[in-house]
Structure 1
C-alpha cells in the first residue's frame, strides 16, 4: 500500500494519423502525393518513434512511472500519432519494453516536437531528432508544455480521428475544455493533469487491454449517481494498429477544494499526540471524519453491488484465495526475513478463513475499490469522495478485476488509519527536531496516544460503515483479521522495496495480528 500520501480556446485541432513539420520555403517544400492534401500525405505509424528510441530508453528509466526492473531493456515502438497543424506538435506514442524472464510492458508517451525549443522548455528536452520527418527538431516531455496539454483535451473533446487516443463518452455531460492545464505531482503509475478547477485527465502510463477496473467502476458509479465519487466524463482508447484495445486513461470531474484524507489524518493525529488538539480528547481528533468516511465507503459498496451484483463464494473459491494469500506470504517472507517468525501464525489466520467458509458460513464477493486507503479519500464541503479504483498496481490486471469481499476494502482502510498514527508519531519524534520529545517519558506518552488514536478511529470507521446499513465488519472478525494480515504482508513487501525506513510500521501490525492467532 502506498499512503498517498487539481482562456480563451484556440480552434479545435484534429487528431491526425501523422504529422509533418510546418512547410519550409517553397523551394524546399516536400512533394505531395497526387490527389492528396499535405496533411493526408504525412507519414504514419510506429516508425515515427523508431529514430528516437535510443534516447527514449534512458529518459524512460528516470520516470517515476517506469518499472525500474526494465531499465536498459530493449524498446519497440507499437503506435504513434501526431496532434497539431503547426509547432509545437504533440506526439502520442506507445512503446513496449522487453526483458528476459519478464512480460512485455507497454508505456504510454506524451512528447512534444518543436523546431526551435523555447528556453522555458529546455529542462524538458530529451533529444534532437536524428532522422525522419522531423530531423533536427527537438523532442521533449509534453507535460512541461501547457499548449500541448490544452491541445490534447480539445482534440479529445472534439472526437478526434485517426489512430491516436479517442474519448469514449460515459454520458451526455459536456466536457469543459477551457481550463488552464496543470500536471499534478503525487503520481506513480499514472500521470494526472488538472484543467482549471473542473476536469482531471488521468493517463495510464502502463496501459493494458480493456476492460479496465477503474473505468468500469467509475462509469457504473456515475450512472448510479453516487455522490461519493467523481463524475466520469469518458475513457481514452486506442485504435492504432499494434495498440488496439488498450485503455489509455480517463477524464473525470476535478475536486479542487478537496482535502487529502491522508494528510488530514496525519495532521490531526500529530496534533493529538502533542496534546494541542482542541475540543476533543487527546486520543480523539479524527473520529468524526472516520465515522463519516466509513459510511461513505459503505454507500459506494452498495452502489457497486446494485450495478454489478454480488455472488456467494463457494468453499472452493475461498480455498483458492487462501492458497494465493499463503503463497504471497511465503514469497514475502523469502524477501523480508523479518516476516519469517510470523508465517505460521499468519497462515493460521488464513486457514481460519478457509475453515469458516468450509463450514457453510456465507462469504459474498462483488466489485470493490481494491486498494482503499486514506490517500484514496478526498474530503469536500459536502462529504467524502472516493477516488482511484484501479486496485493495487503491483498485482496483475486479472487479479485486480476479481470479485472480492468488501471487507478487503475495510481492512485496507483500517491499515491506513494505523499508518497515519505511526507517521504522526515519527513526525513528532526526535528525528523531526522536536527536542521536547527526546525524554523517555514523552516518547512513551506519544506512543500510547498514537495507539489510542489508531484504535479510536478504526472503531469509528467500522461504526460508520455499519451505520449505512451494510454488514457490520465487527460481526466478521475471522475474515477481517485474515484480510488485514494479508494487507500487512503486502505493505511489508512494498516498504522493503521502496521505503525501508517505514518497514517497522507494517511489521508492528504483523506482530499484533499474529498474536491473535489461536
Structure 2
C-alpha cells in the first residue's frame, strides 16, 4: 500500500547515505505502510512503536548509479526490537534509459513510493531486488570474492565451490514466491536467498551448506555458491544472503510419499495390504543419504588438520543434558495443561490416547531423569535440525536435502547446538508417521472404516517403513562408530528425540488441528511402550511408578 502524500528531500540520491534526516523521514512516512505489506516482515501482528534506519550500506551499480542496503529496526510495545534487511533503489527518468526493464514493469508489491523527489529528481523508490542492476552487483561481488568497506563495518562476499568458471554475468529474475526471505535466480542455474530478518550472528544454513560443500564429498545438497556477510568490528558477523546451485526436481519427498501412499490407501478398503517394492527402495535410499550426510558432518580434528570448533564432535556433557531435560520438561508441562483444557474437544480415539499419555507421566519423568545420569559414550555433531520429508527434494533417481536453517521457532544459538544425529532421524521417522496417518484418517476412501482398524493398518505400514529407513541409515556407519557406541545407546537416544518431537507436535495439533491430535499422541504412546521395554531390560522397575495402562487402548476387533 502506497501512501498518498509525496515525500521530498533536498539531498541528492547518491549523497543520501550521509543524511540521517532523510532516513528518519523515510522510516516515519513511507516505510511503515510498505513494510507491513511485505510477507517477510514478521511483526505485523505485534503492536509497533516505530521504525528506524540503523545502518545504511552503499552499493555502486554498473551504470554509475547506486543502491542502498538498509538495516531497518522495528520496535514494539512489548519485547525486543527486530532487525530487517531492506535494499532500495531509485528509478528516475535519468536512469530509465540504462535499464533492461521499464519501471512500469515493477510489481506493485515492490514499490515503496511511485512519486518521490530526492535532490532535483523525481522518480520511483523500490525494493532493489526488482532492479536487475542490483541483482547483478550482488552476484558479481560473490563471484569475484569482493569486499566493500562501509561506514559501519564491511560487506564481505565469499565465493564457494558451487560457482562455475565463466558464470560471472548471468541473466537474473526474482522468483514470484512470497516467503520469509527473498529469492532470485541467475541463469536458472543458481539460487540467491536474501535473508530479510537478521540475527546477531551467522546464519546456520550458510555455515552448514558451506561446510558440506567445501569440507566433504557429500553432494546431495544444492552446492554452496557463496555468501554475503556483514562484518563488524565489535560484534559477530551477520549473514545477509547465500547462493546455491539450483536443483531440478519433480517434488519434495512429502508429496512423493503421498503418491506412494495412494496405492496403499486404495487397497485398504478391500482389506488388502500392499506396498510396492520401489517404495522400500526409495526409503532405503533416503536412509542411506541421511547417514551419508551425518558422516560428512562428523569430522574430528586430526593432529595437522584441526576442524572448525563449530563442527568439532562433542560428548554428551552435563550442560547439554540439562538443556534437553529443561526443554522436555517445559514442553511436557505445557502439553499436559493443553490436553486437560481441550480434552472434551477430542474424538474418542484421541481421548483414549490422551488418557494413557497422562497416566504414563511418572514413567516419562523417570525416563527423563535417567537421561541425566545414564552413561553415554556416543557423540554429538551439527545436524540438519528441522529434518522431515518436506526438506528432501526427489530428483529423477535420487534425493537432494535442502533448508539447513534449523527449527524456525528456535533462536540462532539454539539452532547451532550439537545433537546426536538421531535427532534428525527422529524427525524423519515422525514425518513418515504423519504421512500415513494423515492419508488414512483424512481420505474419503476410508470414511466408513472403523478408526481402530485404520490405526492398526497405519501402524503396520509405518513400522515397516520406519525399520527400513533406520536399518539403511545405520548400515552406512558400520559398527562400532564413534557417533553411536552401541545399539543400547542408539535405542535410548532415539527415544529421547522421538519423545521431544512428538510432544512438540502435540501442541500445534491441539491449537490448530484438533482432528489430528491422535497422530502425535500415538507417537508418544509408541515411545512410552519402548521406554517400558528399557525399564524391564534394565531390571529397574520402580514399584511406585505404574506400568503403561495399555488396557485403556484395547477395543473390540471387527
TM (norm. structure 1) is: 0.77
Structure-2 separation of matches of 1:235 and 1:376: 21
Of residues 251-260 and 198-207 in structure 1, the stretch that sits farther from structure 2 once superposed is 251-260
- Are residues 1:191 and 2:182 paired? yes
User: In the alignment, which residue of structure 1 is the partner of 2:260?
Assistant: 268
Structure-1 separation of matches of 2:508 and 2:360: 21
**Quick check: 1:51–1:129 contact (8 Å CA) kept in 2?**
no
Q: Pick from 70, 76, 82: which aligns with 2:52?
A: 76
Give matches, 1:300-311, under 5 Å: 300-306=293-299, 308-311=311-314
TM superposition shift of 1:99: 1.9
Partner of 2:384: helix, strand, or coil?
coil
User: In the alignment, which residue of structure 2 is the partner of 1:210?
Assistant: 201
TM superposition shift of 1:485: 1.9
Structure 1 pair 366/239, CA: closer, same or farther in 2 (3 Å)? closer
Structure-2 separation of matches of 1:46 and 1:442: 68
TM superposition shift of 1:110: 3.3
Name stretches of at least 5 consecutive residues in structure 1 with no aligned partner. Answer: 1-29, 33-37, 431-436
- Are residues 1:286 and 2:300 paired? no
Larger radius of gyration: 2
* Deviations, residues 236-277 of structure 1 (Å, cap 9, x unaligned): 11247999732112112221236422221222222321249x
User: In the alignment, which residue of structure 1 is the partner of 2:552?
Assistant: none
User: In the alignment, which residue of structure 2 is the partner of 1:113?
Assistant: 90
Partner of 1:161: helix, strand, or coil?
strand
User: In the alignment, which residue of structure 2 is the partner of 1:486?
Assistant: 500
Partner of 1:66: helix, strand, or coil?
coil
User: In the alignment, which residue of structure 2 is the partner of 1:253?
Assistant: 245
Q: Pick from 438, 441, 455: which aligns with 2:449?
A: 441
User: In the alignment, which residue of structure 2 is the partner of 1:463?
Assistant: 471
Q: What is the root-mean-square deviation in Å for CA atoms of aligned residues?
A: 3.8
Structure-2 separation of matches of 1:136 and 1:240: 35
TM superposition shift of 1:155: 4.1
Structure 1 pair 494/356, CA: closer, same or farther in 2 (3 Å)? closer
Structure 1 pair 316/112, CA: closer, same or farther in 2 (3 Å)? closer
- Are residues 1:102 and 2:87 paired? no
Structure 1 pair 484/333, CA: closer, same or farther in 2 (3 Å)? same
Of residues 160-169 and 439-448 in structure 1, the stretch that sits farther from structure 2 once superposed is 439-448
User: In the alignment, which residue of structure 1 is the partner of 2:69?
Assistant: 92
Give matches, 1:163-182, under 5 Å: 163=150, 165-171=155-161, 173-174=163-164, 176-182=167-173
Structure-1 separation of matches of 2:334 and 2:390: 27
- How many residue pairs are counted as aligned between the two chains? 473
TM superposition shift of 1:201: 0.9
TM superposition shift of 1:355: 1.0
Of residues 99-108 and 470-479 in structure 1, the stretch that sits farther from structure 2 once superposed is 470-479
Partner of 1:385: helix, strand, or coil?
strand
Structure-1 separation of matches of 2:358 and 2:194: 38
TM (norm. structure 2) is: 0.72
Structure-1 separation of matches of 2:53 and 2:156: 19
TM superposition shift of 1:462: 0.5
User: In the alignment, which residue of structure 2 is the partner of 1:421?
Assistant: 436
